Chain A
Amino acid sequence: MNPAMSGPRRWLFWAGVAILILWVLLPIWLVAMGAFGGRPAVFQWPKSLLPGSLSLSHMAAFMNVEGVANAFLNSLIAAAVTVVLSVALGAPAGYALARYAFRGADAFKLLVLLTRAFPLAILALPLAVAFIRVGLYDSPFGVALMHTVLALPFAVLVTQSLFMGIPRELEEAAWVFGCSPIQAFFKVVMPLAVPGLTATAIFAFVISWNEVFAASVLTVRERTLTAYLLGVLSESPLHTRFAGGLVLILPSVLFVFAVRKWLFTVWGISGK
């Protein structure tokens, strides 16, 4: 705490901090009450800030609504494939940018940065046509391809700076001791890169898990959870919508909590 701040100013400062904490947490708390309270809680009037009767049965009922479990599974598949693809395609490119000076490196970075200027999810419109032709329409794998477009630029930029932070002398020392470049990479560089790669993977997961528009355009029956919820918005009761909202919120919040240490490295880099 800044020592210059004292008395009423200090009090005001912490009141501000508290209000902003409440501003962030309150909507999550309230949607959770709607989700666990079921129909009676949603129609209670006037509402109280504390739960009346909460029970897990309402959440269980939500998971049993037709289509929800399948959508949940599809979301997991799409997100998992997005993770694998964006790390598998992004990390080698990031490594190349970090370690080699090559003609075309700038053009490649420009291509990656160019994705920033476009609302990428919109590209799902022409992709829907193409996916119908190649049989990827209405499948979590097709959705994952689209989501990888969203996550890949991010993966390239983050892994580039990640590998730049690992001294190349370590690799060269391994070469001197008789490792091939590939062995050196997997024995020396990889172990150091794992935490950063994990963070990259988790962000790719969250990007896919949260995406609504492309997933809705690219599926009809094999919905992801977001696409399913969007599709039934107008006909599903409020408590179902709140349960869906909470199911969407929980995993990504937990995941981001798990990588909170990396948040600023990751976004600090890709924010540039």
Chain B
Amino acid sequence: MTQKAWIPYVLVAPAVIFLGVLFILPLVQTLAMSVSDENGLSLANYTRMLGDLNFADALRNTFLLTLVAVPAQIVLALVMATMIAKIGRGRDLVLWVWVIPLAISDLAAGLAWLSILQSNGYLNSALHGLGLLDGPTPWLTQETPLALFVGIALAEIWRATAIVLVILVAGMQLIPKEYAEAAEVFGASPWQRFTRVTLPLLKPSIQSALILRTVLAFEVFAVVYALGGRNFPVLVGEAYVWQGENQNTGVAAAYAALIMLISMIATAVYIRVLRTPREQMA
């Protein structure tokens, strides 16, 4: 095979070149754009970003949404995955229904929840039916920030729990049944089996789900726009506005660089905190 040592390189080269040109290069360009203006190197874009009226709100909202939605997705997916493990007949059907939102875009998810939460939507109709509400009431405005936040968080949880569920179910399939059985023989309660056996062995799956979901949560945008328009500023939304309406790519790039930095820090933290020692690998 020695004379054919070039083969793998030829096979990998197109993908490497593609990622070099369309991933690494734009990455560097974003950083470069963020620290330059017409006159060369400058932090003007960052000063403008920090001075932007919406900046503090966007930063706070993005973090709040991530801190609420991602843990909720993990917990809900863990509950669902545990239930799936207990279902005998009908397991595949239930699982298929539960993962449907996996295929749904954040924009479509926002629009689906809009049909529920709009002022004469289904939520208000239900509240009216229960005698709790007199007539159509808006929830998705600046005057109702908490309701708006809850609505957006619900839509995010609804949509993105599915991907976490798939990762966790795939991870659970790798855990040998004997472990839980052994724990049962030694008298462990179901809760103990879950926290002492399943959860530690599931750590690598939970880690990758957390990384995936957190990076995407900092990118949240279309769900927010579909439900609240500009009433709920988020970081990517601001980048979008600076790029489009304000025609200022520099400030948009500063937002982009900030989002990348936050994502990288989050990923690094997860990799460190949820590290699995080699001897514990299932």
Interface residues of A (CB under 8 A from B): 1-2, 5, 13, 16-17, 20-21, 23-28, 30-31, 33-34, 42-49, 85, 88-90, 92-93, 95-97, 99-100, 102, 104-105, 108, 111-112, 115-123, 125-130, 145-146, 148-149, 152, 156, 206, 209-213, 216-217, 226, 229-230, 233-234, 238, 241-242, 244-246, 248-249, 252-253, 255-257, 260, 263-265, 267-269, 271-272
Q: Contact: A256 with B94, CB < 8 Å?
A: no
Q: Contact: B170 with A130, CB < 8 Å?
A: no
Q: List 27 A-B contacts (CB under 8 A).
A: A1-B87, A24-B100, A28-B100, A31-B114, A45-B136, A47-B120, A100-B7, A104-B9, A111-B19, A115-B23, A118-B260, A118-B263, A120-B23, A122-B236, A126-B33, A129-B33, A130-B26, A212-B222, A217-B244, A233-B225, A252-B105, A253-B100, A256-B103, A263-B102, A264-B166, A268-B173, A272-B208
Closest to A255 in B: B103
Given A213-B222, A238-B114, A272-B208, also A1-B86 (CB < 8 A): yes
Given A30-B116, A226-B222, A267-B166, also A102-B8 (CB < 8 A): yes
A interface, over-half SS: helix
B83 at the interface (CB under 8 A from A): yes
Q: Which residues of B are found within 8 Å of A116, using beta-carbon distances? A: 211-212, 215, 267
Q: Contact: A245 with B211, CB < 8 Å?
A: no
Q: Contact: A272 with B204, CB < 8 Å?
A: yes
Cα(A143)–Cα(B212), bound, Å: 22
A-B contact count (CB 8 A): 289
Q: Which residues of A are found within 8 Å of B96, using beta-carbon distances? A: 257, 260
Cα(A108)–Cα(B106), bound, Å: 30
Which of B110, B136, B216 sits near A119, CB closer than 8 Å?
B216
Q: Which residues of B are found within 8 Å of A119, using beta-carbon distances? A: 215-216, 218-219, 236, 259-260, 263
Q: Nearest 3 CB-CB pairs, A to B?
A: A268-B170, A245-B111, A210-B105
The distance from the CB of B273 to the nearest CB of chain A, in whole angstroms, is: 15
Which of B22, B118, B260, B264 sits near A146, CB closer than 8 Å?
B22
Q: Contact: A90 with B30, CB < 8 Å?
A: no
Cα(A1)–Cα(B27), bound, Å: 50
Q: Contact: B229 with A21, CB < 8 Å?
A: no
The distance from the CB of B260 to the nearest CB of chain A, in whole angstroms, is: 6
Q: Contact: A117 with B211, CB < 8 Å?
A: yes
Q: Which residues of A are found within 8 Å of B107, using beta-carbon distances? A: 210, 212, 226, 229-230, 245, 248
B53 at the interface (CB under 8 A from A): no
Q: Contact: A93 with B14, CB < 8 Å?
A: yes
Interface string of B226-251 (1 = CB under 8 A from A): 10010000001001100110000100
Q: Contact: A92 with B11, CB < 8 Å?
A: yes
Closest to A127 in B: B26
B89 at the interface (CB under 8 A from A): yes
Cα(A46)–Cα(B136), bound, Å: 8
Q: Interface residues of B toward A: which range?
A: 35 or more
Q: Contact: A249 with B136, CB < 8 Å?
A: no
Closest to A265 in B: B170
Given contacts A121-B219, A122-B259, A264-B169, list 18 more A-B pairs with CB under 8 A: A42-B120, A46-B128, A85-B18, A93-B11, A96-B12, A108-B12, A117-B215, A123-B256, A125-B253, A149-B18, A149-B23, A212-B107, A212-B222, A213-B221, A241-B111, A249-B104, A268-B167, A272-B208
Closest to B5 in A: A102
Q: Please indicate which of the listed interface residues A129, A216, A271 has the most CB atoms of chain B within 10 Å of its own CB.
A: A271
B70 at the interface (CB under 8 A from A): no
Q: Contact: A31 with B115, CB < 8 Å?
A: yes
Q: Contact: B30 with A27, CB < 8 Å?
A: no
